[in-house]
């Protein structure tokens, strides 16, 4: 590691204002809207929250592919593998959220597939039994832990110590910087208020009934997108990068 003042590359409005704004906007929209209107425009599978999640993941996927190409041209196998896996993860996450297009194009689920899926959709993460847990809860929990630890706790610790990864190292390129702290805290904890209210009151009162699980998935997508944006900016601004991303 080396001593620097910060490892942030984004302005404060981007790394702090965007995540908080998107999260609080759901409560601000829920307050004046009736249940049917809010459900149709935000909570429904074709609502703004779901569309925003998929669109944000699409941007993260494009950024990931761009950085993968850069790493491959640079001849760095470790970085190429890491960002290729990142890109595939964004593709899987976004594809599953949209049931690979079913939510938008409205095709019917084959009967054989419907019997294996607890929501009758053409996706894998809603599979019955153990398969659903392995393809949904497990990666979700692992990603949430990675966001909280790698995206928030470790950047704060490095900031307090004033020591950051040396330029050009593997950690310098792949580890989230201080830009990811706000969303790294918000994303994995986004559903906590709803769960606390439900456990103490037995139900989630208005206007906190925003379907926090869907909002949490949007926050996960925002984390991935902001993270890869910081990587792209780091590549573009650092002379040691040896070139630009193809984005």
Taking 80 as the threshold, does the pLDDT of residue 245 lie above it? no
**Above 90 in pLDDT, residue 242?**
no
Residue pair 22/218 in contact (Cβ under 8 Å)? The answer is yes
Q: Quote the pLDDT of residue 227.
A: 98
- Token pair recorded at residue 169: 């190292």
User: Which three-class secondary structure state does DSSP give residue 2?
Assistant: strand
Task: Give the per-residue pLDDT at 188.
Answer: 94
Rounded to an integer, the average pLDDT of 16-26 is 94
What are the strands, taking DSSP E only, across 42-199? 163-164
CA 155 to chain centre: 17
- Residue 113's pLDDT is 56
Q: Supply the pLDDT for residue 178.
A: 95
pLDDT tens sequence across 94-145: 988 887 666 666 656 666 655 555 555 656 655 556 555 676 778 889 999 9
Q: Which two tokens stand for residue 37?
A: 């209107």
What is the enclosing helix (H) or strand (E) of 3? Answer: strand 2-3
pLDDT band of 204, cuts 50, 70, 90? confident
Which residues make Cβ contacts (< 8 Å) with residue 80, sequence separation at least 6? 68, 71, 72
Residue 155: pLDDT band (50, 70, 90) is very high
Average pLDDT in the chain: 85
The fraction of the chain above a pLDDT of 90, given in percent, is: 51
Place of tokens 């970085």: 79
Tell me which residue of 69, 91, 92, 90 sits closest to 80, measured CA to CA.
69
Higher pLDDT, 72 or 212: 72
Given a contact cutoff of 8 angstroms between Cβ atoms, the answer to whether 8 and 178 are in contact is yes
Determine the pLDDT at residue 70: 96
Determine the pLDDT at residue 69.
97
SS3 163: strand
Q: What is the pLDDT of residue 125?
A: 56
* pLDDT of 239: 73
What pLDDT sits at residue 247?
47
Domain regions of the chain by residue span: 2-241
| pLDDT, tens digit (0-9, with 9 covering 90-100), for 183-199 | 999 999 998 988 888 88
């Amino acid at each position: 590691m080396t001593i620097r003042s910060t490892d942030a590359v984004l302005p404060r409005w981007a790394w702090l204002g965007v995540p908080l704004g998107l999260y609080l906007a759901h409560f601000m929209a829920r307050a004046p809207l009736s249940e049917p209107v809010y459900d149709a425009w935000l909570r429904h599978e074709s609502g703004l929250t779901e569309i925003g999640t998929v669109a944000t993941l699409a941007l993260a996927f494009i950024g990931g592919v761009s950085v993968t190409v850069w790493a491959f041209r640079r001849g760095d196998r470790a970085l190429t593998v890491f960002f290729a896996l990142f890109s595939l993860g964004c593709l899987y996450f976004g594809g599953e959220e949209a049931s690979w297009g079913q939510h938008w194009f409205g095709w019917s689920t084959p009967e054989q597939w419907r019997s294996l899926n607890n929501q009758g959709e053409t996706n894998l993460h809603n599979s019955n039994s153990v398969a659903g847990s392995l393809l949904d809860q497990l990666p979700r929990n692992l990603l949430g832990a990675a966001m909280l630890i790698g995206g928030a706790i470790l950047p704060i610790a490095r900031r307090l110590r004033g020591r950051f990864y040396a330029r050009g190292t593997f950690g310098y390129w792949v580890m989230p910087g201080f830009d990811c702290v706000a969303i790294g805290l918000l994303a994995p904890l986004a559903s906590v208020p709803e769960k606390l209210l439900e456990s103490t009151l037995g139900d989630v009162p208005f206007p906190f009934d925003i379907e926090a699980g869907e909002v949490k998935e949007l926050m996960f997508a925002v984390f991935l997108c902001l993270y890869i944006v910081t990587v792209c900016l780091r590549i573009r601004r650092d002379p040691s990068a040896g070139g630009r991303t193809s984005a």
